[in-house]
Copies of this chain bind each other. A is one copy, B any other.
Amino acid sequence: MRMKHTKKQMLFLLGGLLALSLSACDTTKKDTQTATETTTSTPAESSSPQIPAEDKALWTQATAIFKALPSEPESPAANPTTPEKIILGKMLYHEPRLSKSGAFSCNSCHNLASYGVDNRPTSIGHGFQTGVRNSPTVLNADYQLSQFWDGRAADLEEQAEGPILNPVEMGMPDEDTVIKRLASIPEYQEAFTKAFPDNSPDSEGPVTYKNMAKAIATFERTLITPAPFDKYLTGDTAALSTEEKAGLQQFIAQGCTACHSGQNIGGALYQKFGLINAYEHQQDTGRFEATGEEKDKYFFKVPTLRNIAKTYPYFHDGKVWDLSEAVKIMSKTQMGKDLSDQETQEIISFLNTLTGELPIEARTLPTLPASQADTPRPSL
């Protein structure tokens, strides 16, 4: 529930709101203003691919709105990506000792066997309590303006610190207990030292809560799932079928791209859920709970649509299981439109092209080191 906001976040927020007031509210404009508004964008690949004449118009439009995923993870200056951090981060991601009971790891709710989610409305945590919001996917999560549904964490590092100490999630009492568990294990001492070799001898040592979060974030940056749509964007227009291209055209024409654009087909701005028509299940005030600002009431971070066909149930409350129902609700609440079944199905055929594949290294379980005599034990 931290209230901290970076300048970057605020700029994104303002930019997002501006973009939305310009486009998303205009429910009559069915054509492709977004493409013309963003003529400074360039295709993802610098060498111009040869695009068949019949695909040229749609592809040009699409590459102005969307961007393919990179093949390598980002490496932020504040936490550069290294192989040693990825190794440590993967161990920690699968580490049930980060939970009070020793039964929950990051992977329990963000399961890498099921597209980084648990496919539950809300996740089960310590004491079989359930959270209030649906666990969003960890896949491609780096390519968002912020983390959590309400954007209360600036980045993956900040996000990783949260669930471990949340009483209804992993339930650890405090950072010290977490660090006592990890620091008591020689293999973790070694892995942290390799991942964070620059710690001065006077410092508290490499095994810190911040470094733990940094390593988890670094591993999470490798969770990139290139999909058929990325192939299309980088010039292989045959990667999408005729029907899928029609879906892409529909997705753009209906104005879904007002919110769902960029590298993550979402994740780049906040938007009010119920912009035109109220969402019937609405109880959660969203970003307002994080900022306390009236203007943020019912605002949520626009989720990524990557792997959306696999990351049901939908929305912040996980109340909607069916993707076509979710698409229709979005269209109705955000744009005041009733999509036909055919329009909906076309859009879904495009959304299916966003299902990608994790690199095999990301799906390979680590081998976790054994606890020692002084390692604090799990408890209920």
Contact = CB atoms under 8 A, between A and B. Distances in A.
Interface of A: 94, 96-97, 101-103, 108, 111-115, 118-120, 123-124, 126-128, 130, 309-310, 312, 321-322, 357-358, 360, 363-368, 370-371, 373, 377-378, 380
A97 B118 CA distance: 10
B312 A380 contact: no
Contacts of A114: 96, 367-368
A310 B119 contact: no
A364 B373 contact: no
B108 A120 contact: no
B112 A124 contact: no
Q: Assembly of this chain: how many copies?
A: 2
A364 B360 contact: yes
Nearest to A309: B370
Of listed A115, A124, A322, A371, residue having the most chain B CB within 10 A: A124
A124 B101 contact: yes
Given A103-B124, A124-B380, A358-B367, 15 more contacts: A96-B114, A97-B119, A101-B124, A102-B119, A112-B365, A113-B365, A115-B367, A120-B378, A128-B380, A312-B371, A321-B373, A322-B373, A363-B364, A363-B365, A363-B367
A250 to B, nearest CB: 22
Contacts of A370: 309-310, 312
A378 B128 CA distance: 14
B124 A96 contact: no
A380 B101 CA distance: 19
A380 B119 contact: no
A312 B126 CA distance: 22
B127 A128 contact: yes
A362 B119 CA distance: 24
A358 B366 CA distance: 11
A118 B130 contact: no
A365 B364 contact: yes
B130 A380 contact: yes
A155 to B, nearest CB: 25
A351 B112 CA distance: 33
Contacts of A96: 111, 114, 118-119
